[in-house]
Structure 1
Amino acid sequence: MEELNDRLRFFVEECDHVQGIQCTVDDSGGFSAVASEFLENIADDYTNIPVLLYSVRDTFSYTDATKQRKLITRSLHDAVSLSKLSTYSSLIVPVGLPSLGGLAPSLCVRDEKNFHSSAVYASAIHSISAPFRFKPAGPISNTTYAAGSLDIGEIIHILAGQNRQNMVAILDVSMPAPSLSDKANPGGILNSFHALGTEIGDDSEDFYMDESLILNGALFSGADRASVSQVKESICNVYDKGLRAKPRPSHLSISLTPLPIPLPFPSIFPTTTGRRGEILADQPLEGPPKGSLEVESVPVMTRLRSSIAIKPFIECRYNNLLRHGMLRGAKGAGLLRDWGFGKDEVDDMGEHLSKMLRIFNPSSEMTSDSD
């Protein structure tokens, strides 16, 4: 841990300006505790630097537990992990699905191959973080190739510091993203999103939702790349025509650079995918998936949203901690003690998760902090 802290300190001291810190951790096992300690050190040493955490899991971590003790262990671990990691993060983004079959027919992903799922998750994180690498807008900035620069602190403020103080965001992806003029999609390009997290509820009636939308290398028609102005116009039209019930996105970022497909990238694209990620209507549906030799780049659209849809995710972990670790006679209380958590610390974790839930209760908006 000391070596990790020293390496981070070196980079921070060498930077002229630190816009924030991004961390990625597999929190399904022991690395969750390591990450929690590391994030605590960051919070102590760099109090004003925002931290964006991606908690990523592979499909095997969702394998059904057959024995009750194993089920309780996993449930308590997930609850403790969320409580601890969110305590020291400015914004946490859960990433991971028990099955990626829902991404079909856009992608041909096999759940038993971690290289497939990791390629999808890495592509989504690369896309969502692209605005952090844009040059800040200014009087002489060139908006021909990119627009909507954003730093880590700004996106955290948009999602966790405005309508709600919700610090758990949902990551959605569309890959390859359909063209802007796709007539087969009457709801617009925004209907092609797939959530990359579990236990996601409905937010169709949530008018307090905040979202940050990023398009990388969008196609206008066929294999023709769309301009920045065409992307802006298309997205605004979707909202203005009532095809989306929500207000316009809180922030829109556009890059004309698509996701490049390097040689080691797995073959996960269907036969109907063209070299630039366009849909080939004249290609047969059957056939082996395409890889980097046939597809050189694809358009990717990602979205981070803060909405009531994340409530079931938090609620499940709070209820599991309450049921298995806090109530009188709870079967997991001894397990928490074995992990080194005393009653007061368990109560603090329960209160922290409860506070994360209360922000979704409309009545709580009328109460003061002291209440």
Structure 2
Amino acid sequence: MSTREICSLQFGHYSNFIGAHWWNLQEFSFSFTPDDYSEINNRVLYREGLTLKGQPTYTPRLILADLKGSLNTLAEHGELYDTSSCPKEDEIPWHSNRIEVKEDTKKLKNEFLQDLDSEASTSANKKYNFEENVKVWSDCLYTRFHPNTINVIKQYEHGNQDAGFDLFTQGKEMWKTEQFQDDFADKIRNFVEECDSLQGFHIILDGNNGFSGLANSCIEYLRDDYDRKSVLAIPVLPPYYNDYAYESDEEQHKSQIRDSVRVINSALSFTNLAEFSSLFVPLCTSKDGWRKPGLKREFNHVQYNDKLMYHTSAILASALDTVTLKYRLKEGHYSLSDLCVDLNLHNRKLAAASLCLPFSFNEGADLIECLDNWDGPLTQSITPRCTIGTDRMMQLITLRGIPEDRLKKPHDKAGAQKDMPAYRCKNINEMLNFYMSCTTFGTATNVTNISKGLTLKKPFPNFFDNKVGIRGNISAVLRKETEDVQSIPILAGLHSCNEISTTIESLHSEAKKLKVERFPQFASTGLERDEYKECLEKLLDFKECYEDSYLL
């Protein structure tokens, strides 16, 4: 079995929240015994290495960027290789009266991370208050990183709203600095040179702040140096910002200005992604996404707090881990390049994503009954301003957590099932394809399924209602409060459809209302009026790719 590796990049605090959950989810599913066979080839995203002491490591092939103060207790060079220590006074070759020792206030890890370090029990019986204790993404990080993974931008401080890293143009300028670009590019090159057969790059980026500009500059660099490799970009948008909790008219006015800045950043980012990425998929757990992200998306049996990045990022990470399975399996020859080609017909570089979390599968039921009784669409859109239709699409659908022995009842016990046309289907793939052919028109569907569900462990949020059993099935017997859900079936999809034009049009409409010259912070960082006007024109041209007349 040959491994076709992928290098992952993450830009920004919300992106790193999603990444933290995603890497955790992957490690939860690792198989360490021959009896527990895994269909997933973890080497696609992970690399083997050795510590300075010769101990083997298995870490993500990942490079991430965030601001000063965003790591909390996490060491910048990780913890697997960290051998740094403070020298003693007698070890310093200076006279003692010329030495002044200053000690920073030591940050304390939360209880979960302390238990993780001490290898104490983090079993289902022990409860942690993650909702209160997770302030930054590293507070819920189970995975250990390579020392080259983390890059801290020290010129800006996390949480500083008065002098933040808030502008697309700030990110572009940051990339141009020799120190950052050379160092970041060298780390990419080091990981790439370890690969036997690189497929391409996963890039998760904050879609509407300074990291959008930084990430897009990096993508342009990748296009120059790795032009034949695929780049799948995931711009992500939080459904809530701290400045929404205003208490005065002045604070409300500042929040409205920041919302306008975020709209301009999104427009600039989408225009660049449409030009330089192979495919990009915007993600958000709210319906609107742009100015005031709007109502949250509802998922059956999930009670999440849309104001907590810890919650919403876990939902998006579950979707990412599922939709990328197609080219991360041990069996099969599908690649990241195949995905980008399938969904990028006629320059439709923007794809929508959808999710059903958990896939509502009743205890003791069969898939044939589940689909026959299903009301409405199988999945919920997680792309802003996009309601995924049923006609003339290219789509990739991935289902995990339904074993083949729950496809249908045996012939001698089938009863009325035998009269259903779907009873002739011989496996999960065939039945799901048949269902899609009956519920969509003129649609090409690529279906993938694996029998093992999404494995859940702490620190994944416990936001499922008690109708969801330990194994993720919906049961009339309510789960005990002391029990955690250990795995869930999940369905997710990527779609190239006409409805995506609504996403682009809504962003263009919001961005067109804003006169960029009224935001001097953009002009001071290099954005000219004509450049913004050109960006809006490119958005309109890009929207036309999703109109039927464009295909004639």
User: 2 CA distance for matches of 1:71 and 1:100?
Assistant: 16
Does the 8 Å contact 1:277/1:299 carry over to 2? yes
Aligned to 1:246: 441
User: Does 2:427 correspond to 1:230?
Assistant: yes
Of the three residues 151, 154, 170, the one matched with 2:352 is: 170
Deviation at 1:96, TM superposition (A): 1.2
The farther-off stretch of 344-353 and 86-95 is 344-353
Of the structure 1 ranges 58-67 and 297-306, higher mean CA displacement relative to structure 2 is found in 58-67
Cα separation, 1, equivalents of 2:285 and 2:372: 27
Contact 1:222–1:279, Cα closer than 8 Å, also in 2: no
Alignment-derived partner of residue 258 in structure 1: 453
- Aligned residue number for residue 324 of structure 1: 514
Partner residue in 1 for 2:551: 365
C-alpha distance after superposition, 1:297-324 (max 9, x if no partner): 1111110001122212111222334332
Match of 2:337 among 137, 144, 153: 153
Structure 2: tracts of 5 or more residues without a match: 1-180, 245-250, 287-293, 409-424
Equivalents in 2 of 1:155, 1:11: separation in Å? 23
**Structure 2 residue 483 is the aligned partner of structure 1 residue 303:** no
| 1:32 to 1:106, Cα distance in 2 relative to 1, 3 A | same
Find out whether 1:89 has 2:271 as its counterpart: no
Shift in alpha-carbon separation, 1:344–1:112, aligned structure 2, 3 A: closer
Deviation at 1:210, TM superposition (A): 0.6
- Greater RCO between the two (CA within 8 Å, min separation 6)? 1
How many angstroms apart in 2 are the aligned matches of 1:302 and 1:262? 20
Match in the other structure for 1:197: 383
Match of 2:167 in 1: none
Deviations 1:75-128 (A, max 9, x none): 222211211233221111111123785334321211122211111111110111
TM-aligned CA deviation for residue 235 of structure 1: 0.8
Deviation for aligned residue 1:197: 2.0
**8 Å CA contact retained: 2:544, 2:550:** yes
**Structure 1 residues 261-281: Cα deviation after superposition (integer angstroms, max 9, x where no partner):** 122111111101112111102
Displacement of 1:357:
0.8
Q: Within 2, Cα distance between the matches of 1:249 and 1:106?
A: 30
- Residue 118 of structure 1 corresponds to which residue in structure 2? 313
What percent of counterpart residues are identical?
A: 22
Q: Could you say if the C-alpha distance between residues 52 and 360 of structure 1 is closer, same or farther in structure 2, counting changes exceeding 3 Å?
A: same
Q: CA deviation at 1:184?
A: 6.4
Q: CA deviation at 1:12?
A: 1.4
- How far, CA to CA, are the matches of 1:223 and 1:342 in structure 2? 59
Contact 1:223 1:277 in 2 (8 A): no
- The answer to whether the aligner puts 1:215 opposite 2:403 as a matched pair is no
Secondary structure of 1:352's counterpart equals helix
Q: How far apart in 2 are the matches of 1:258 and 1:237?
A: 22
Segments of 5+ residues of structure 1 without an aligned counterpart are: 138-148, 367-371
Q: Tell me how far apart the structure 2 counterparts of residues 323 and 361 of structure 1 sit (CA, whole Å).
A: 23
- Is 1:4 paired with 2:184? yes
How far apart, in 2, do the equivalents of 1:114 and 1:192 lie? 25
Structure 2: distance between partners of 1:267 and 1:81: 34
Taking the aligned partners of 1:220 and 1:62, their CA distance within structure 2 comes to: 46
- How many residues align structurally? 338
Letter in 1 for 2:225: D
- Residue aligning to 1:312: 502
Pair 1:115–1:334, CA change in 2 (3 A): closer
Q: Is the 8 A contact 2:208 2:266 kept in 1?
A: yes
Distance 1:233 1:364, change over 3 A: closer
Q: Deviations over 1:112-161 (max 9, x none)?
A: 22211111111110111112211353xxxxxxxxxxx5211100111013
Instruction: Kindly report the root-mean-square deviation, in angstroms, between the aligned alpha carbons of the 2 structures.
Output: 3.1
State whether structure 2 residue 215 is matched by structure 1 residue 35.
yes
Alpha-carbon shift at residue 24 of structure 1 (Å): 0.7
Counterpart residue number, 2:79: none
**Structure 2 residue aligned with 1:20:** 200
Length-normalised TM-score, structure 1: 0.81
1:69, 1:239 → 2: CA distance?
Answer: 44
- Taking structure 1 as reference, are residues 355 and 255 closer, same or farther at Cα in structure 2, changes over 3 Å only? same
Post-superposition offset of 1:255: 1.4
Query: TM-score of the superposition, structure 2-length normalised?
Result: 0.56
Change in CA separation of 1:39 and 1:51 when aligned onto 2, cut-off 3 Å = same
Aligned to 2:265: 77
